[in-house]
Amino acid sequence: MAPRGIRVALTGAVAAVLAVVLLTGCTPSTPAPPPVGAAFDYQLGGAYDLDSGVDVVVRDRTAPPVAAYSICYINAFQTQPGERGDWPDELLLRDASREVVIDPDWPDEALVDTSDAEAVLAVVSPWIRGCADDGFDAVEFDNLDSYARSGGLLTRVDAIVLARRLVDVAHAAGLAAAQKNAAEDAAVLHSSSHFDFAIAEQCAAFRECEAYTDVYGDDVLDVEYADGLDVPFRVVCTFRERPRAMILRDRQLVTPDDPAYVYERCR
């Protein structure tokens, strides 16, 4: 999911709620994020053997980890395509007409009602622990910014608080936790939800890489898409503000046996 918007200041309401969240205390020993600047691959369209030199890989929670730093993808704030049945019907966000609210850019993804954190945790926590049991090193939670696509039905505060709860589950399971996109919320998600690193999509294309690196330093992985750049990828790799770990992929993240497959990385 590509990020939207630019950084905004915290509202008084958000700041007040986050003050309460912070009073819950720090998590114990935090698992390590990926090695800084390591070559990585983003394999959400299907798992395949790693290229030589790749030390970090992101795969869906239903795929196996590999002998590399493995990050487990979980769509925690929206339904994954084909998996709406994994969520209780009452957790699907509905509008005033009782219609399920759908992501306008992803018509096979329904928004989850993040106001009920306990119910969301009941669904997602077993997935997180399953990632740990399978041997993953970290987890990324997608669609943290679903509130921005909810027509005002969801709140930023609920998203941040739920994110903190999910990160706590991940840390307790021995997994590092990645903020996925939501550049405008990076500072508060790091400080209040305790994310360990960030995974961004198209931060160069959207001119927002510094929103992540200002917060996470070198602990940022960025995926650019071949159809989303207005300059060649080799030029993007020269940008001063780019994250140290940056790759180019095809939009559908297909496997190497598909003619549409694209993979390059900054050297």
**pLDDT grade, residue 18 (50/70/90)?**
low
For position 60, what pLDDT does the model report? 98
Residues 161-177 pLDDT 10s: 999 999 999 999 999 99
For position 267, what pLDDT does the model report? 87
Residue with tokens 């590999």, as numbered in its chain: 66
CA 2 to chain CA centroid, Å, is 10
Buried b (16+ CB within 10 A) or exposed e, 76-92: bbbbbeeeeeebeeebb
Q: What is the mean pLDDT of residues 6-31?
A: 50
Tell me the C-alpha distance between 119 and 34, whole Å.
Answer: 30
Cα dihedral 56, 190, 126, 78, rounded to 10, equals -90
CA nearest 112: which of 152, 143, 156? 143
Q: How far is CA 139 from CA 65, 104, 174, 198, in A?
A: 11, 25, 10, 11
For position 89, what pLDDT does the model report? 97
Q: For 193, which DSSP code?
A: S
pLDDT over 90 for what percent of the chain? 88
Query: Does the structure show a pLDDT above 70 at 227?
Result: yes
Q: Rounded to the nearest 5 degrees, what angle is found at the Cα of 211, between the Cα atoms of 210 and 217? A: 65
Residues 54-95 pLDDT 10s: 999 999 999 999 999 999 999 999 999 999 999 999 999 999
Q: How far is CA 155 from CA 78, 112, 152, 236, 241, in A?
A: 14, 12, 7, 34, 31
φ/ψ of 159, rounded to 5, equals -65, -45
CA 170 to chain CA centroid, Å, is 13
SS3 of residue 247 by DSSP: strand
Average pLDDT, the chain: 92
Residues 101-111 pLDDT 10s: 999 999 999 99
Contacts of 258 (CB under 8 A, 6+ apart): none
Pick the residue with more confidence: 131 or 105?
131
Q: DSSP of 69-121, one letter per residue?
A: EEEEEEE-SBPPTT-GGGS-GGGB-B-TTSPBPEETTEEEEEBB-TT-HHHHH
For position 98, what pLDDT does the model report? 97
Query: Does the structure show a pLDDT above 50 at 139?
Result: yes
CA-only gyration radius of the chain, Å: 18
For position 16, what pLDDT does the model report? 46
Query: Does the structure show a pLDDT above 90 at 26?
Result: no
